[in-house]
């Protein structure tokens, strides 16, 4: 007799141990620039914040340390 409706734990997905890499601020800004539906980034100091799409190109000229040390108003 065949059993239906149950998927065993070992089918399809593996359990992953360890840390999942976080996107850098620059990588998140590139996502905002390339995908119209994404307007937010997760800043390490300020948390989730909305980004002005008109400023993304100028923000991408800065390096990661400068982006981390900017104030919240400079992103908007």
Answer whether residue 12 is part of any domain.
Answer: no
Q: Which residue reads 């400068």 in tokens?
A: 66
Report the domain count for the chain. Answer: 1
Answer whether residue 63 is part of any domain.
Answer: yes
SS3 at position 7: coil
From CA 13, how far away is CA 28, in angstroms rounded?
27
Answer whether residue 15 is part of any domain.
Answer: no
Answer whether residue 39 is part of any domain.
Answer: yes
Q: Which residue reads 């996502």 in tokens?
A: 31
| Mean pLDDT across the chain | 84
Answer whether residue 45 is part of any domain.
Answer: yes
Q: What is the mean pLDDT of residues 33-48?
A: 91
Query: Quick one: pLDDT at residue 42?
Result: 92
Q: What is the mean pLDDT of residues 9-36?
A: 81
Query: Quick one: pLDDT at residue 17?
Result: 72
Q: What is the mean pLDDT of residues 25-52?
A: 91
Annotate 12-73 with DSSP letters as a single string: S-----SPPPPPPHHHHHHHHHH-TT--EEEETTTEEEE--GGGHHHHTTS-HHHHHHS-HH
Answer whether residue 60 is part of any domain.
Answer: yes
What range does the domain containing 48 cover? 25-75
Answer whether residue 3 is part of any domain.
Answer: no
Q: What is the mean pLDDT of residues 5-23?
A: 71
Answer whether residue 43 is part of any domain.
Answer: yes
């Amino acid at each position: 007799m065949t059993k239906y409706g149950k998927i065993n734990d070992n089918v399809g997905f593996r359990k992953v141990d360890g840390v999942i890499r976080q996107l850098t601020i620059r990588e998140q800004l590139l996502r905002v620039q390339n995908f119209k539906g994404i307007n937010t980034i997760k800043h390490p100091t300020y948390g989730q914040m909305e980004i002005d799409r008109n400023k993304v190109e100028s923000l991408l000229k800065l390096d990661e340390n400068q982006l981390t040390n900017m104030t919240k108003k400079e992103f908007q």
